Chain A
Amino acid sequence: AQSVTQLGSHVSVSEGALVLLRCNYSSSVPPYLFWYVQYPNQGLQLLLKYTSAATLVKGINGFEAEFKKSETSFHLTKPSAHMSDAAEYFCAVSHGGKLIFGQGTELSVKP
C-alpha cells in the first residue's frame, strides 16, 4: 500500500529564512507525489507534483521539491519565507487516482 509520512506537525520559521517541510513516501511502484497548501477555511491548492519527468520539481510561489528515491523522500523547500506562506501543507501520493494524504504540517512564519 502507498502512504506518505510528514515529519513535524508544526514548523516555525522567521520571515526570510529557509522553509523545509519533510515528506517520506512508501510505495511498491514508482509514486506520483504532490504537495498541497491549505489556507484557513479554504480548499486545497496544488503547489507542485512529481510525475517522474524530473527529480527537481518547481512549483508556485517559489516552492520546489526534490524526489530522492534512495531516501524515499519528497521534501518541500523555499529559500525565503514570506508571512503569506503561513498555512497547512499536505504531502500526498496518488493511489489509483485518489490521493492519500500525510498528516499535514502547519507552517508559521514569524516577523
Chain B
Amino acid sequence: AAGVIQSPRHLIKEKRETATLKCYPIPRHDTVYWYQQGPGQDPQFLISFYEKMQSDKGSIPDRFSAQQFSDYHSELNMSSLELGDSALYFCASTSGGTLRTGTPYYNEQFFGPGTRLTVL
C-alpha cells in the first residue's frame, strides 16, 4: 500500500539558510499535518491543510511557511534557520471529510518517515 512520502530524508543546512521540506500524502487523502519533533521530545503540531486551505496553526515560527498544492502535496518552507530548528519533521495525511460534516476528528493520521534537519 502507498504510504506518505517525505523528501528529503536528511538535510544539513547552515544557520540563516533556507530549507524546503516536501510531503506527498497517500492518494485520495486531502488533509496534511506537519509536526516537529526535537531531540528526545514529543512531536509538536505546526500547521495543517485541508483541501489546499490552511485549517489549523500551532506553534510554527513566523520564519516558517507552508502550503498545499493542487495535487495535495505540501511543502514546508523554513527561512533564517537557527540551531534550534534542528529536529525531525513529520508529515501526516488523512482523509479530512469530517471537517466539513462536523463528525468527530478521529480519522487515523498516517505518518511519513520524517525529514531529519540538522542546522550547523
Chain A interface residues (CB < 8 Å from chain B): 32, 34, 36, 42-46, 49, 51, 90, 94, 96-104
Complex-state Cα separation, A49 to B92, whole angstroms? 16
Give 5 new A-B contacts, CB below 8 A, not counting A34-B108, A101-B44.
A32-B105, A46-B109, A94-B104, A96-B105, A99-B45
Which A residues lie within 8 Å of B42 (CB)? 90, 101-104
Given contacts A49-B106, A97-B96, A98-B33, contact A44 B56 (CB under 8 A): no
8 Å CB contact of A97 from B31, B35, B114: B31
Distance in Å: Cβ of B22 to nearest Cβ of chain A: 15
Chain A interface mostly: strand
Task: Answer whether residue B55 sits at the interface, using C-beta atoms and an 8 A cutoff.
Answer: yes
Complex-state Cα separation, A32 to B104, whole angstroms? 8
B45:A98 contact, CB within 8 angstroms: yes
Q: Which of A99, A100, A102, A104 has the most CB of B within 10 A?
A: A99
Chain B interface residues (CB < 8 Å from chain A): 4, 31, 33, 35, 41-45, 48, 55-56, 58, 90, 92, 96, 99, 104-106, 108-114
**Chain B residue with Cβ nearest A102:** B42
8 Å CB contact of A42 from B31, B44, B113: B113
A49:B43 contact, CB within 8 angstroms: no
Distance in Å: Cβ of B88 to nearest Cβ of chain A: 9
Which B residues lie within 8 Å of A46 (CB)? 108-110
Question: Can you list 15 A-B pairs with a CB-CB distance of less than 8 A?
Answer: A32-B104, A32-B105, A34-B108, A42-B114, A43-B4, A43-B113, A43-B114, A44-B111, A46-B110, A96-B105, A97-B31, A97-B96, A97-B105, A100-B45, A101-B42
4 nearest CB pairs, A to B? A43-B111, A101-B42, A32-B106, A97-B105
Distance in Å: Cβ of B43 to nearest Cβ of chain A: 5
Given contacts A49-B106, A49-B108, A90-B43, contact A96 B113 (CB under 8 A): no
